[in-house]
Amino acid sequence: MLDLMHPFDDYYGRGNPSRDTAYYDRMPHQSHGYNPHQRAPRSTTDPYSHAPSSNAPSSTAVPKITTSSASDEYIIAASPPSGHDLRGAQAVLVGPFELQLTGVVQPKDAAYEYLTSGRTGVYAAPGRRGLLGVAPPRSLLRGDAPTQGWIALESEHGWVHTGDVQLLSRPAQPRHFARTVELPADALTRHASSHTLAAGGLQVCIPRQAARVAKRPASKAAPPKAPPTKSAPKTVVAEEAVPGDGGRLTAAAIRKPAAPKAAPPKAATSRRAAPKAAAATTEASAEASHKRAAAAATSKPPAAGIGRHLPMSEAGPVLMEVEAAATNIQLPQETIQHWRASASGGFVPCHDD
């Protein structure tokens, strides 16, 4: 509580010497006794003036905007200037990649300054009762704005009447601010988040789009060279003449490598003229024996096997031509059967009684 003048103290400081007068010593423009001829310092506004000064907001009282980037996000922070607080700070998207920060800068010291014009009573509550003490003239008091004719002093030191004091100065008025920050093209603004810092500051975190790593095209490997292939030997299809089959190719025919053709014999010399006639006789006899073997094979029935015709069935052919009948061109006859369930399980046909 303010160390005020006791009601029974002398107006000029004479009276109760036991009271502590340190509070009055701290005031540079006053002494223990009031001197009406003493002039107020030049830095102090005339207490009888009706034009109180106002602490205009400084042009430097603007929030500090910082931006930083990480591997996965962008961080934008707004902090209040020294001696001020930030109120109602918020971030709004005003474009695809534009973020606007808004708020109010308010000074921490929002007290009004008053100067007593005479002996001023300080009360415990609004009203003329509950006197706590008396403030000497020309005392500097700090408090809130007037409320219904009463002023609450700073730090709950009491109340004074507005008619006993003069307004010396007003606190600086709050100042609105708006700041636009441009965002990079890879900022994911739809997933942005924010949280409040100390003294009303604001921090906004905006994720970054993951960078795509371009894949290198795989080098086309040369196709492996095919191993050299050996030329397949020429083959011929051997024909097997089946007696009575007209010389057709059979399934038993196999592919055999063609035998190299023998070079034609050279012309016989005069020394081999005589054996040539004997060789012709031998070839004629071999051809005759081959014909006899072919005739003997013709008399035997051909055996059933792969590539050979099966003998004709004794029951006749599978398909044969018959006379036309009406039953072959009409729908089949339909019959109805009745079945009933048996006690032992299953179904038995019903016979008409």
What is the average per-residue pLDDT within 97-118?
Answer: 88
The distance between the two most distant Cα atoms of the chain, rounded to a whole number of Å, is 186
Q: What is the pLDDT of residue 206?
A: 92
pLDDT recorded at residue 345: 85
* Confidence (pLDDT) at 106: 85
- 75-79, 99-103, 341-345: least confident range: 341-345
pLDDT one-digit tens code per residue, 50-82: 455 555 555 567 888 999 999 899 999 998 888
pLDDT confidence bin for 238, thresholds 50/70/90: very low
> Which whole number is the average pLDDT over 195-201?
84
pLDDT confidence of residue 198: 80
Higher pLDDT, 269 or 324: 324
Q: What is the pLDDT of residue 47?
A: 41
pLDDT in tens, 132-167: 999 999 999 999 889 889 999 988 789 999 989 999
Tell me what pLDDT residue 109 has. Answer: 77
Better-scored residue on pLDDT, 326 or 42 = 326
**What's the chain's average pLDDT?**
70
Q: For residue 323, what pLDDT is reported?
A: 79
pLDDT range class, residue 13, cuts 50, 70, 90:
very low
pTM for the whole thing?
Answer: 0.39
Predicted confidence at residue 86, as pLDDT, reads 87
Domain ranges within the chain, ordered by starting residue: 64-109+174-207
**What is the fold of 64-109+174-207?**
Immunoglobulin-like (2.60.40)
pLDDT at position 299 over 90: no
* CA dihedral sign, ordered 328, 334, 335, 337: positive
pLDDT surpassing 80 at residue 181: yes
For residue 26, the model assigns a pLDDT of: 37
Pick from 8-22, 97-111, 154-168, 222-236: least confident: 8-22
The half-sphere exposure of 336 on its side-chain side, counting CA atoms within 13 A, is 2
pLDDT band at 242 (very low <50, low <70, confident <90, very high): very low
